[in-house]
Structure 1
Amino acid sequence: MNLFADAIAWIFAPERLEGSVSLPLAIGQHLAYTFVSVVVAALVAVPLGWAIGHTGRGREVAVAVSGAARAVPSFGLLVLLVLIFGVLHKPEAAVVSFVLLAIPSILAGAYSGFEAIDRRVIDAGRAMGMTEWQILWRIEVPLGLPLLIGGLRSATLQVVATVTIAAYINLGGVGYFIIQGVPLRDFTQILGGALVVVALALVLDGLFAVLQHLVVPRGVSAGRTPDVRATPTRRRAVVEPATE
């Protein structure tokens, strides 16, 4: 218990605002790598996921590639890319490794959002004379947005936790304090850095949870709807609980 109290005191100590790597600067670097990586991953994965979800083609390939990408160890990939890019391009190598980490979750959220849509809604749009682009932007994208935000949420949490390893190649971030504390056996500093990463993850998760709730189209209920095949009497019994 004293270790946690010491770690919290370490976080809010005035000296955390000083030095070449202050805590606010490290947090800014951490969030910058996270933001850039997730945005780049979204630019790649969202159009591809929407294309797969709209056409129904390539899903098996996407699932196989996503599964293989999830199995790649992030630290090993980061070191490999640094060797390939060279020591003068370590930031680019780090961003590429984090982008590859984020793509599977965003890709899955993009095409799963389209697949979860009731096909009768899309058929109704076609029956009304909508073009494929109108179906995409007026039906599929709005209805699939909650699951896409869920994919972005999962990817962001994975990246914000993994950006910690960027400090191994001297790129800063909150991981700097954790890695610096290991050889010094400064467990207060290690725990303090870990708590900051956890706090960042919780804040980002909360923001995405609110956003995921806000993007649900008006009139779409998350609750269970009555069976359309049921008779009027049966539907009434499902909607209105029996009273004694």
Structure 2
Amino acid sequence: MNTLSDTWDWLTDASHWSGAEGIWHRLLQHFVLTVVCLAVSCLIALPIALVLGHLGKGGALAVNISNVGRAVPTFAVLVLLLLTPVGDWGDGPTVVALVLFAIPPLLTNAYVGMREVDRSTVQAATGMGMTGRQVLFGVELPLAAPMILTGVRIAAVQLVATATIAALAGGGGLGRIITAGFNLASTPQVVAGALLVAVFALIVEGLFEIAERLAPAWVRGTG
């Protein structure tokens, strides 16, 4: 019970929220890292998934290969990258490790969403004279949008939770609060850092839910 009380005292101490080591600054670093990694992951995974899903060839192999990456701990990937020339790129190792971590849900959901589009609808669009590009962007992509956005939401929440590893490579983010707590043998600070990450992940999840509710019907898959 004392730990919870001490954690609350730590969180409500105004001095812990300001400055370069403060919560607001670490939260901003965490947010930027998450957005950058999510954007890079989307730029890599989504085009591949959309093209393979449209062609119906090679997608299963790509998904299986990407899913193998889920079995490799992100921390292990980060450590290996730190031992390579990539380790000299500042936040490069962390970004690469997190991008590799986020690709599987993005690729899998986008590909499955594309392949679950009713083939008769695609054939009808083709029969009407639509080109492959028009079918992809005008028919398949809108119908696959709900699954694609689900993959983006999953990847975003996972990135928020996993971006704490940046602290292990000397980077910023909320993970620095946790590692500093360990260094100081301060259990309240460690618990506070973990709570902040959990709350941030829940907020991101909630924002995606709100965005989905406010999105057009075709994005929600109800149109």
Asked if TM exceeds 0.5, the reply is: yes
1:166 maps to 2:166? yes
1:127 maps to 2:153? no
Work out the percentage of aligned pairs sharing the same amino acid. Answer: 36
Tell me which structure has the larger Cα radius of gyration. Answer: 1
Contact 1:143 1:216 in 2 (8 A): no
Q: Which residue of 1 aligns with 2:104?
A: 104
Q: Unpaired runs of 5+ in structure 2?
A: none
What is the rounded CA distance, in whole Å, between the counterparts of 1:166 and 1:14 in structure 2? 25
SS at the partner of 1:197?
A: helix
Relative to structure 1, the CA distance from residue 89 to residue 139 in structure 2 (aligned partners, 3 Å threshold; closer, same or farther) is same
Q: Which residue of 2 aligns with 1:68?
A: 68
Deviation at 1:186, TM superposition (A): 1.2
What amino acid does structure 2 have at the position aligned with 1:88? Answer: D
Relative to structure 1, the CA distance from residue 218 to residue 39 in structure 2 (aligned partners, 3 Å threshold; closer, same or farther) is closer
Deviation at 1:9, TM superposition (A): 3.2
Deviation at 1:66, TM superposition (A): 1.4
Q: Which residue of 1 aligns with 2:88?
A: 88
Deviation at 1:19, TM superposition (A): 4.3
Q: Which residue of 1 aligns with 2:146?
A: 146
Contact 2:81 2:87 in 1 (8 A): no
Q: Which residue of 1 aligns with 2:222?
A: 221
Deviation at 1:87, TM superposition (A): 4.7
Deviation at 1:126, TM superposition (A): 1.4
Q: Which residue of 1 aligns with 2:176?
A: 176
Deviation at 1:183, TM superposition (A): 3.6
Contact 1:150 1:212 in 2 (8 A): no
Contact 2:109 2:148 in 1 (8 A): yes
What is the rounded CA distance, in whole Å, between the counterparts of 1:15 and 1:130 in structure 2? 62
Paired residues in the alignment total 222
What is the rounded CA distance, in whole Å, between the counterparts of 1:116 and 1:12 in structure 2? 49
Deviation larger for 129-138 or 8-17: 8-17
- CA displacement 1:111-169 (0-9 Å, x = unmatched): 11111211121112112211111111111111111111100111111111111111112
- CA displacement 1:32-82 (0-9 Å, x = unmatched): 111100100100000000011101111221122112111111111111112
- CA displacement 1:214-233 (0-9 Å, x = unmatched): 254189539xxxxxxxxxxx
Q: Unpaired runs of 5+ in structure 1?
A: 223-244
Relative to structure 1, the CA distance from residue 216 to residue 80 in structure 2 (aligned partners, 3 Å threshold; closer, same or farther) is farther
Relative to structure 1, the CA distance from residue 161 to residue 5 in structure 2 (aligned partners, 3 Å threshold; closer, same or farther) is same
What amino acid does structure 2 have at the position aligned with 1:49? Answer: A
Q: Tell me the TM-score normalized by structure 1.
A: 0.85
What is the rounded CA distance, in whole Å, between the counterparts of 1:121 and 1:103 in structure 2? 29
SS at the partner of 2:84?
A: helix
What is the rounded CA distance, in whole Å, between the counterparts of 2:49 and 2:105 in structure 1? 10
Contact 1:85 1:93 in 2 (8 A): no
What amino acid does structure 2 have at the position aligned with 1:114? Answer: M
Relative to structure 1, the CA distance from residue 94 to residue 220 in structure 2 (aligned partners, 3 Å threshold; closer, same or farther) is closer
Contact 1:145 1:216 in 2 (8 A): no
What is the rounded CA distance, in whole Å, between the counterparts of 2:62 and 2:158 in structure 1? 19
Q: Which residue of 1 aligns with 2:199?
A: 199
Contact 1:38 1:99 in 2 (8 A): yes
Q: Which residue of 2 aligns with 1:35?
A: 35
Q: Tell me the TM-score normalized by structure 2.
A: 0.92
Contact 1:82 1:89 in 2 (8 A): no
What is the rounded CA distance, in whole Å, between the counterparts of 2:106 and 2:208 in structure 1? 13
